[in-house]
């Protein structure tokens, strides 16, 4: 099994034209990186771009976001889905305003203490916004590191070994570009079925060197992605319809909410209970609204 990390030079040269591909990369202030990382948690970059530009135009700073009613933040989240992220981001902005004087903290422990910021997002912020030498170990970064450094699929290895391999490869001189290059490479090239023929680091990739994925043709994934549960008719769909209806008019009763959302009343009640538990809606008697 190989352990020598490939050179970062080819990786960063491949990434160069992508450095300006997204608005958060063109102007990577800590606040813009925070907003983009939360949006990118569960939404593809192409869908995030217009929502991000609208969002930062509406809330141009941590303080502006912290001062806004949560209902307005949820409205501005339109088009992104997984609306609980909007509530968490609203809370995080208020925490940053209260605890850190309105400046996004640099320290990963302080970042992790923010609402909606888990270990991955904290590491991504530390690396991308502040240039700290840490690996944002998302699934793409781990897959590329596992194959390119250790010459094996990540499912065949201990996670600790893969993260250590990524850390050994990390370019300390430019953690922001290195992490984003790895994310892009994993998403576009070193996918579940790797596209080694077009990979910029194939010459130094351990998996290729071992001849196990030569050219990428016909390579079978070690782990096939699980089939997604159908969105149609799911509770996620009902929840999305409820929040959409409330964005247009808030508050309203469950009956009106069922009519406006086009969903059955019993499913709407179930969705409202879950959304209420998560702080995404308020309930006063029989009336449901977006939070302040």
66 CB contacts (<8 Å, ≥6 apart)?
90, 93, 94, 96, 97, 102
Please return the burial class of 213, using the count of CB atoms within 10 Å of its CB with bins 0-12, 13-18 and 19+: buried
Q: Give the one residue of 207, 243, 252, 288 binding ligand SF4; rule: CB under 6 A.
A: 207
Q: Residue 221 Cβ, how far from ligand SF4 at the closest point, in Å?
A: 11
Q: Residue 289 Cβ, how far from ligand SF4 at the closest point, in Å?
A: 49
The yes or no reply on residue 213 touching ligand SF4 (CB under 6 A) is: yes
Q: Residue 4 Cβ, how far from ligand SF4 at the closest point, in Å?
A: 13
Q: Give the one residue of 195, 247, 259, 276 binding ligand SF4; rule: CB under 6 A.
A: 195
User: Minimal CA–CA distance to 30: which of 115, 132, 119, 118?
Assistant: 132
Please return the burial class of 257, using the count of CB atoms within 10 Å of its CB with bins 0-12, 13-18 and 19+: buried
Q: Residue 287 Cβ, how far from ligand SF4 at the closest point, in Å?
A: 53
Q: Give the one residue of 114, 152, 170, 196 binding ligand SF4; rule: CB under 6 A.
A: 196
How many residues touch ligand SF4 under the rule CB under 6 A: the total is 16
The yes or no reply on residue 85 touching ligand SF4 (CB under 6 A) is: no
The yes or no reply on residue 202 touching ligand SF4 (CB under 6 A) is: yes
- By CB under 6 A, the residues from 115 to 174 that bind ligand SF4 are 144, 147-148
Strands of 282-284's sheet in order across = 252-253, 287-289, 282-284
The answer to whether residues 265 and 255 touch, using CB atoms and an 8 Å cutoff, is yes
The yes or no reply on residue 194 touching ligand SF4 (CB under 6 A) is: yes
The yes or no reply on residue 189 touching ligand SF4 (CB under 6 A) is: yes
Q: Which stretch binds ligand SF4 (CB under 6 A): 44-52, 70-78, 79-87, 190-198?
A: 190-198
Distance of alpha carbon 274 from alpha carbon 271, whole angstroms: 5
The yes or no reply on residue 92 touching ligand SF4 (CB under 6 A) is: no
Q: Give the one residue of 141, 208, 268, 272 binding ligand SF4; rule: CB under 6 A.
A: 208
- Residue 260 CB neighbour total at 10 angstroms: 17
Does the annotation mark 37 as catalytic? Answer: yes
Q: Give the one residue of 35, 38, 88, 190 binding ligand SF4; rule: CB under 6 A.
A: 190
The yes or no reply on residue 205 touching ligand SF4 (CB under 6 A) is: yes
Q: Which stretch binds ligand SF4 (CB under 6 A): 25-33, 72-80, 200-208, 250-258?
A: 200-208
The yes or no reply on residue 201 touching ligand SF4 (CB under 6 A) is: yes
Q: Residue 212 Cβ, how far from ligand SF4 at the closest point, in Å?
A: 9
Q: Which of 37, 232, 260, 278 is catalytic?
A: 37
The answer to whether residues 49 and 22 touch, using CB atoms and an 8 Å cutoff, is yes
Catalytic residues: 37
Rule CB under 6 A: which residues touch ligand SF4?
144, 147-148, 189-190, 194-196, 199, 201-202, 205, 207-208, 213, 216
């Amino acid at each position: 099994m190989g352990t020598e990390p490939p050179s970062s030079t080819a990786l960063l040269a491949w990434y160069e034209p992508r450095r300006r591909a997204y608005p958060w990369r063109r102007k990577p202030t800590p606040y813009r990186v925070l907003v983009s990382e939360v949006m990118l948690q569960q939404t593809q970059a192409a869908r995030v771009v217009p929502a991000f530009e609208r969002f930062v135009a509406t809330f141009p700073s941590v303080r502006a976001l912290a001062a806004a009613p949560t209902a307005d933040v949820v409205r501005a989240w339109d088009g992104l889905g997984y609306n609980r992220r909007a509530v968490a981001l609203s809370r995080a902005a208020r925490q940053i305003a209260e605890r850190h004087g309105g400046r996004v903290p640099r320290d990963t422990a302080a970042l992790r203490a923010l609402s909606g910021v888990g270990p991955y997002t904290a590491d991504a912020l530390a690396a991308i916004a502040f240039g700290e030498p840490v690996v944002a170990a998302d699934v793409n970064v781990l897959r590329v590191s596992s194959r390119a450094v250790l010459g094996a699929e990540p499912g065949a290895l201990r996670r600790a070994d893969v993260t250590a391999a990524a850390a050994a490869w990390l370019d300390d001189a430019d953690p922001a570009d290195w992490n984003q290059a790895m994310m892009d490479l994993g998403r576009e090239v070193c996918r579940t079925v790797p596209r080694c023929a077009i990979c910029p680091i194939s010459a130094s990739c351990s998996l290729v060197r071992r001849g196990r994925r030569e050219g990428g043709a016909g390579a079978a994934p070690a782990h096939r992605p699980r089939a997604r549960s159908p969105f149609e008719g799911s509770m996620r769909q009902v929840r999305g319809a409820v929040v959409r209806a409330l964005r247009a008019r808030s508050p309203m009763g469950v009956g009106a909410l069922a009519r406006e959302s086009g969903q059955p009343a019993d499913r709407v009640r179930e969705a409202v209970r879950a959304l209420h538990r998560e702080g995404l809606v308020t309930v006063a008697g029989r009336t449901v609204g977006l939070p302040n």
